[in-house]
């Protein structure tokens, strides 16, 4: 079977003006503007099969969004080839666009002053969705996303989480085969993040749609993706199973503790490596296998007011990966 996405040597350069510092620099750039080429994506080759749910990781400016934009046809690459669902994305053929959806966490396609239902109707017309299919998809999405009573409220009155879910519904009414999600949980609270994650997973399972998502949020990726692609400075650093990546580069978790009385770093050294300890707060790195033991010991032996167990930030994993490469 043909893959959902296949790219060879995908490369994108941006041209950005260079301004020298100070007023004189400003005047000079008015008369004689100089530019410098920045390579946002560098020789990216990847293959994603139909129905896969792939996490796309990397720090800010690593090239994630640029790659998604090329795959959705928004950007034309400087070099390289890509096929998405059998189409060259940047030709922007209607047949391709009807099978695609791009959701950017910070962008909205909903009409602000009107209830989301009106945008849904507009998308029905744009994508030429038959009335019966529209009703069926809408019912399913309203149910999965718990949108019921929010459909008749003007979008501006919705909370960020409600809006994001309405946004997802608007993006999925036409039943896309390929879904590109750029930071779908950004700005949402923990409960909403979980809802959105559960929805993405359910959608992938029910419809067999290929999903590629970028996120800063390690929890998103752990909950959803078996396979991850890590990108740094435009190049693919890692492409493979998430389990193997986490085992190799995030072999520990972070314990964040707040005590009711001050504690010194030397007290905590037996529990893990102390990243930070000042007065009543401390941060420890603890090997994954020892997390429960260390947390229990902390609670038993110290006046703990608050304790949080966190995954290592994606940026940290990527940094480790980067320093190893």
Partner 1 sequence: MKKYLVAYSIALQETLQRRSTLLMDRLGGFAIVVSLYSFWNALLGDKPSFLGYTRSEMLTYVLLINVLRSFVFTGRGWQLVGEISSGRISSYLVRPISYHGYSLALDMAQKTVHAVSAFLEVALLAWLISGGIFLPRDPATWALFAAAAVLSSLVFFFLEMLVSSLAFWTSESGGPLFCFELFLQFAAGAFFPLDVLPEGIQRLLSATPFPYMVFFPARIFLDKVPHPEALRLLAVELAWLAAVVFAALGLWRQGVQSYAAEGG
| Residues at the interface with partner 1 (CB under 8 A) | 14, 65, 69, 72-76, 92, 94, 97-98, 100-102, 104, 106-109, 111-114, 118-119, 121-128, 154
Q: Which of 132, 131, 212 is nearest to 178 (CA)?
A: 212
Q: How many Cα neighbours within 13 Å face the side chain of 202? A: 12
Q: CA-CA distances (angstroms) from residue 271 to 157, 254, 312?
A: 48, 12, 17
Q: How far is the CB of 74 from partner 1 (least distance, A)?
A: 5
106 vs 152 by CB, closer to partner 1: 106
Query: Given the complex with partner 1, which of 96 and 259 has the nearer CB atom?
Result: 96
Q: How far is the CB of 321 from partner 1 (least distance, A)?
A: 23
Phi/psi at 112 (5° precision)? -60, -45
Q: How far is the CB of 175 from partner 1 (least distance, A)?
A: 14
Is the CB of 174 or the CB of 253 nearer to partner 1? 174
- The smaller minimum CB distance to partner 1, of residues 98 and 194, is found at 98
In the complex with partner 1, the residue whose CB is nearer, 71 or 254, is 71
Measured from the CB of residue 128, what is the shortest distance to partner 1 in angstroms? Answer: 8
Write down the least CB distance from residue 106 to partner 1, Å: 7
| Closest among 36, 104, 43 to 69, alpha carbons compared | 104
Measure CA 191 to chain center: 17
Q: Read off φ and ψ for residue 139, nearest 5 degrees.
A: -60, -45
77, 90 contact by CB (below 8 A): yes
Q: Indicate the residue among 55 and 73 with the shorter CB distance to partner 1.
A: 73
Give dist(CA 53, CA 160) in Å, integer: 25
CB of 176 to partner 1, least distance (A): 10
Left if phi > 0, otherwise alpha if psi is -120 to 50, otherwise beta: which for 183?
left
- Residue 203 and residue 197: Cα distance in Å, rounded? 10
């Amino acid at each position: 079977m043909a893959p959902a996405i296949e790219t060879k040597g995908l490369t994108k350069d941006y041209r950005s003006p260079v301004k020298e510092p100070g007023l004189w620099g400003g005047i000079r750039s008015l008369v004689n503007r100089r530019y410098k080429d920045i390579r946002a994506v560098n020789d990216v080759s990847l293959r994603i099969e139909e129905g896969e749910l792939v996490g796309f990781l990397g720090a800010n400016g690593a090239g994630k969004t640029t790659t998604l934009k090329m795959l959705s046809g928004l950007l034309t690459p400087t070099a390289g080839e890509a096929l998405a669902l059998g189409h060259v994305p940047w030709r922007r053929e209607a047949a391709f666009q009807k099978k695609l959806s791009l959701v950017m966490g910070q962008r909205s396609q909903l009409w602000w002053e009107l209830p989301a239902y009106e945008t849904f109707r507009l998308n029905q017309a744009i994508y030429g969705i038959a009335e019966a299919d529209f009703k069926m998809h809408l019912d399913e999405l309203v149910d999965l996303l718990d949108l019921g009573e929010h459909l008749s409220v003007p979008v501006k009155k919705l909370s960020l989480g409600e809006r994001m879910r309405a946004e997802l519904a608007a993006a999925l009414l036409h039943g896309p085969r390929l879904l590109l999600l750029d930071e779908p949980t950004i700005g949402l609270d923990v409960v909403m993040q979980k809802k959105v994650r559960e929805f993405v997973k359910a959608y992938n399972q029910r419809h067999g749609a290929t999903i590629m998502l970028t996120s800063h949020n390690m929890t998103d990726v752990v909950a959803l993706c078996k396979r991850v692609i890590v990108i740094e400075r435009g190049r693919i650093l890692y492409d493979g199973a998430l389990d193997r990546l986490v085992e190799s580069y995030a072999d520990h978790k972070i314990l964040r503790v707040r005590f009711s009385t001050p504690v010194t770093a030397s007290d905590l050294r037996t529990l893990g490596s102390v990243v930070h300890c000042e007065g009543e707060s401390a941060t420890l790195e603890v090997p994954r296998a020892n997390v429960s033991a260390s947390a229990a010991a902390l609670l038993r032996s110290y006046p703990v007011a608050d304790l949080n167990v966190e995954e290592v930030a994606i940026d940290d994993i990527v940094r480790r990966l980067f320093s190893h490469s």
